[in-house]
Amino acid sequence: MTSFAAIIILTSSIAIAGVSNLTDKTDTVQQYNLIIVFKEPVSSDVWRVSITLEGHDSSINCSGLLGPNVYYLQTRSVSRDLIVAPLYYVLDKVCPQIISEIQILAGSSGNKTLLITIHVPDNYMVRSSMDWRSYGPAGGPYRVDLESFARYYIFDGIVLANRRIYDINDYIEENLTVIMQRNIPENVVKYAVESLLIVRSTLTKWLGPSPRSPCVLVIVGPEEHSFLPPNTAHSMGSIVYMKLSSYAEDILPWLVHTAAHETSHGWFNHGMLYGDFSFQEAAAEFLAMKALHDNNPRLYRLAVNYLNDMLDVDEQYSVWMRVNAALWYAGIQACDRDVYIDTVRRLYNLSITTGLKDSISLLDVIKMMVEELQSPCRETLEALVGRVLIAASTKSSTWPLIDISSLSVDMKTMTNLTGCPSRELVNYTVQQHGKLNVTAGIENKEFPENGVAQHGKSDIYLNKSRIKQIAIKDINSSGSYGNAQLIADRYEQILWFLIGLGFGAMFSIVIVSKRYIT
């Protein structure tokens, strides 16, 4: 009996040990090391670089030269004193087989981390977006789960700067690193920083937090990076790069506008919400301008001065921006809430949580806007969609820079198109202008810097409870106000009173008839 019990105990111990050993193997994290060594510049715009990937069943070592690729905008900012380039480009240029290995490892099962170490020569300093993502100290080394690296941060950039020429300032409270050429006036840099912070904060509220929201700003003078013309900018998501044409304050309209636009690409980019020109570039442009318009009139006036020049020549960014603006305005006209931003937020959430495989176009946005609505709002918006292009075809100097008269809701004529009840029939009188920026309440939420975007309300919506009178801010720059009165309640009361009289009369007739028959 004792020996049998001992056998049972021994067998149980072996089984428990086996399960524990299996659990340990399953939970074991496999670590890989990615080591990038910028050895030395060999010319004014070429560097000698070596890269190594080592870890479980992996060992790859390459050396090569890194220089600009004139065919891609984001890869032209490479010089002896400053490298601002996507990490993907650095790997692809020097050791492309490492990219393939990382993609295979990220797609396989098991927990894997990547320790990224970047070595630079003396008097140089390195920065990346991972400095602000809790992956490691400024300049690295960074410890990132391999799946997140393959999905997001491999497309982000790294910055290698000569400290003798460039100032590198880390602003802890703003979660921002500013790398600037020392002879650039601080006042110029201030405008770019302010524009970036406003748009970053606003899009975080509208769409949700982004794992690639901008946290590094690089500003260079006209003599840097000879393969890029002056007044050139690009975004790698977390890194915004700007090359000035001069140091005079007459560049401020371009500077503010461009910093705002490139900041938006922290949401509209590879691995995130990605689409064709009609949506990705145009929505980034529209939301950047709207963020400035809603939050800082001074910066908006500067940005719109530059944008007006684009509007005058029907530049493609401005044309498609106006289409997005008209679609946004149509949603507010039809439903008295921001249907456009609600829809873009849903698309962004899908891209983060599930990873949208297909490129998004403005047609997809329109379809989703309409499908998510209920009657009569849905039918009203459907009828207005046809007018969007007409409204966008005529530019305006006042926000939202389109012909809003084309989108004014004339419900008397639209009843025939949609079957919606005519607002004129209930005496819903609204002035021709003044249906924007209506906020009956704002839902304030804390949005963490890291994390998946949570679905929430837009900061522009209407309280749907019945109201007697609404004061609506005029969209004109004068700041005047228009009034709208809803007096449907009075007619509704009269209607019910008449119905009551009718029922009372019928009841009286029935009683009299019964008495007569009896």
The pLDDT score that the predictor gives to residue 229 is 94
Residue 7 has pLDDT above 80, yes or no: no
Q: How far is CA 304 from the centre of its chain?
A: 20
Do the bridges between strand 239-243 and strand 216-220 make them parallel or antiparallel, or are there none, so unpaired? parallel
Question: Is residue 482 a part of any domain in this protein?
Answer: no
Residues whose CB is less than 8 angstroms from the CB of residue 115 and which lie 6 or more positions away in sequence, other chains included: 31, 32, 33, 34, 141, 142, 143
Distance CA(430)–CA(432), nearest Å, equals 6
**Number of structural domains in the chain:** 1
The pair of three-digit structure tokens given for residue 225, joined into one six-digit string: 């990076």
Query: Is the pLDDT assigned to residue 192 strictly greater than 50?
Result: yes
| Within-domain flag for 392 | no
Query: In the block, which residue shows the tokens 């975080």?
Result: 204
Residue 10 half-sphere exposure, CB side, CA atoms within 13 Å? 6
What pLDDT is attached to residue 409? 58
Q: What are the counts of helices (DSSP H) followed by strands (DSSP E) for the chain?
A: 14, 16
In a domain, 412, yes or no: no
193-232 pLDDT, tens per residue? 999 999 999 999 999 999 999 999 999 999 999 999 999 9
Share of the chain above pLDDT 90, in %: 55
Place of tokens 């692809």: 92
The predicted pLDDT at position 503 comes to: 55
- Is 469 inside a domain boundary? no
pTM: 0.73
- Whole-angstrom CA distances from 237 to 87, 128, 216 are 12, 11, 9
441-472 residue pLDDT tens: 333 333 333 332 333 333 323 233 322 222 22
Per the rule left: phi > 0, alpha: psi between -120 and 50, beta: everything else, 237 is left
Q: Is residue 273 part of a domain?
A: no
Name the least confident of 310-314, 374-378, 512-516: 512-516
Q: What is the DSSP-derived secondary structure letter of residue 234?
A: E
Q: Residue 75 sits in which domain range?
A: 29-161
Half-sphere exposure at residue 263, Cβ-oriented, CA atoms within 13 angstroms: 29
Per-residue pLDDT tens over the stretch 295-311: 999 999 999 999 988 88
Nearest residue to 341 (alpha-carbon basis) of 389, 400, 398: 400
Classify residue 96: in a domain, yes or no: yes
Q: Residue 363, CB half-sphere, CA atoms under 13 Å: how many?
A: 3
- Residue 142 host element (H or E): strand 142-145
Cβ–Cβ < 8 Å for 183, 221:
yes
Cβ distance 398 to 476 under 8 Å? yes
pLDDT above 90: residue 439:
no
CB 181 within 8 A of CB 162: no
Q: Is residue 114 part of a domain?
A: yes
H-helix or E-strand containing 350? Answer: helix 339-353
Tell me what pLDDT residue 14 has.
39
> Angle at CA 181, nearest 5°, toward 177 and 186?
75
Position 258 in a domain: no
pLDDT, tens only, 367-399: 999 988 888 989 999 888 888 888 888 878 888
